[in-house]
Amino acid sequence: MVKEYPDINSHDFSLDSTDNEFKDLLEKATQGDANAQCSLGHRYYEGEGVVTDYDKSVYWYTLATKKGHAEAQCNLGYCYRNGAGVEQDYEKAVCWYMKAAEQEYVEAHYTLGYCYENGEGVERDDKKAVYWYTKAAKKGDAWAQYNLGSCYQWGQGVRQDYKKTIEWWTKAAEQGYAEAQFDVGNCYEWGQGVRQDYEKAVYWYTKAAEQGDMMGQAALGRCYENGDGVKQDYEKAIEWYTKAAEQGHAKAQDSLVRLIKSKKQT
């Protein structure tokens, strides 16, 4: 159950922070401003400037949803998904995502795609997952673009199409999504859905590696070791293998040991 605060001007809220921005939001929220109510819900959920309090987060999100605030609807769905401030209920989470989605809230489109792909709060339905991912992907959501590309990769809810896979993964990669950057690099290295191009593979592996993606780091180490798409450079290979190995990448750990041992023998 949602914790009740009969007086929203009470010390339960006003003494939670001395921050001027918080006080300004609280004043607006108590006057019925849905954006301010949603912002307070977010602050209490994330512990931004206040002590984390899921009950209060749900309280403010709920007030905002009564005014049809799409972001608050989606965020209240997350609260039900995670059992934060309310009893965990995946079906209620989906209901709130749907309300937000009906207002064309892109994050809710992506989240519904995830729910249908994984059978979370709804019966699994790959075609509906693709439908919602597509709506979000066309509006520029990087996660949806990546997941939609993966659906095309495996023929999940759509006909398998590697060209569409690389198309959607590239869109996500161009937005800085590291996992997509690695996968695009992998496609160029092995010629899946695109013409094989080692230099482009290195380009995308580097993008992912520089963000700390261990798969990208290991792949980039391999490229430097073998001279694929770059000038062969064992020192750089060791550098990138080390970064991946430190994150627990088993093959990078093996390659690092092998390469260091080989250098000692020369």
pTM for this entry: 0.90
Q: What is the pLDDT of residues 195-207, one digit of tens each?
A: 999 999 999 999 9
Whether 34 and 64 have beta carbons less than 8 Å apart is answered as: yes
The residue assigned the tokens 């066309």 is 138
* Model pLDDT, residue 25: 96
Give the type of residue at 233.
D
Per-residue pLDDT of the chain (266 residues; tens, 9 = 90+): 455 555 544 557 888 998 999 999 999 999 999 999 999 999 999 999 999 999 999 999 999 999 999 999 999 999 999 999 999 999 999 999 999 999 999 999 999 999 999 999 999 999 999 999 999 999 999 999 999 999 999 999 999 999 999 999 999 999 999 999 999 999 999 999 999 999 999 999 999 999 999 999 999 999 999 999 999 999 999 999 999 999 999 999 999 999 988 877 76
* Model pLDDT, residue 5: 54
* Model pLDDT, residue 264: 76
Q: How far is CA 212 from CA 28, 147, 217, 222, in A?
A: 41, 21, 7, 16
Q: Is 169 exposed, middle or buried (0-12, 13-18, 19+ CB in 10 A)?
A: buried
Domains of the chain: 176-266 (1.25.40.10)
